[in-house]
Amino acid sequence: MIDFNNASFIKLNMVGNDAFSSQIMPILIDGETILSSYKGIRDGVVFTNKRIIAINVQGITGKKKDFTSMPYSKIQVYSVETSGVFDMDSELELWFSGVGKVKFEFTSNSNVSEICKSISNFVLK
């Protein structure tokens, strides 16, 4: 779950784009495509060519879900911390206009540099 007060999120592993496609297809607009998908224990994050969609699976059965849409156009600043020798995880912090900071933590097999390049392409146009 995204908690905008403490700005942290569970560690995310890269998964195939089909992992969440059936869940988010109803909210995608014409021309919007999935670029990459990441999954925590039950929650996930999907990067599209228009926005970041955080999926928070709620309840015991997991049937209830919260979808948070964060458009690239609202990103003011972002910061990346790459993995090191002892800390194998990477972090991406994004500051959204009107919301504040959102922090995603990725496992070592995630290509955070590629995520940043994609974000830069959308934010810096």
Q: Give 120 or 99, the one with higher predicted confidence.
A: 120
Percent of the chain scored above 70 by pLDDT?
Answer: 87
pLDDT tens track for 55-92? 988 878 878 889 999 999 999 999 988 766 555 678 89
> Is the residue at 58 inside a domain?
yes
The reply to whether 53 falls in a domain is yes
Residue 35 has pLDDT above 60, yes or no: yes
Split into its structural domains, the chain has a count of: 1
Give me the CATH number covering residue 53.
2.30.29.50
Quick: pLDDT tens for 85-102.
555 678 899 999 988 899
Q: Which domain holds residue 113?
A: 11-123
For the record, the structure tokens of 18 come out as 């089909």
pLDDT of residue 1: 47
Asked, for residue 1, whether it belongs to a domain, the answer is no
Q: Is residue 90 part of a domain?
A: yes
Q: Enter the pTM of the model.
A: 0.87
Residue type, 14: M
Q: Is residue 56 part of a domain?
A: yes
d(CA 3, CA 107): 20
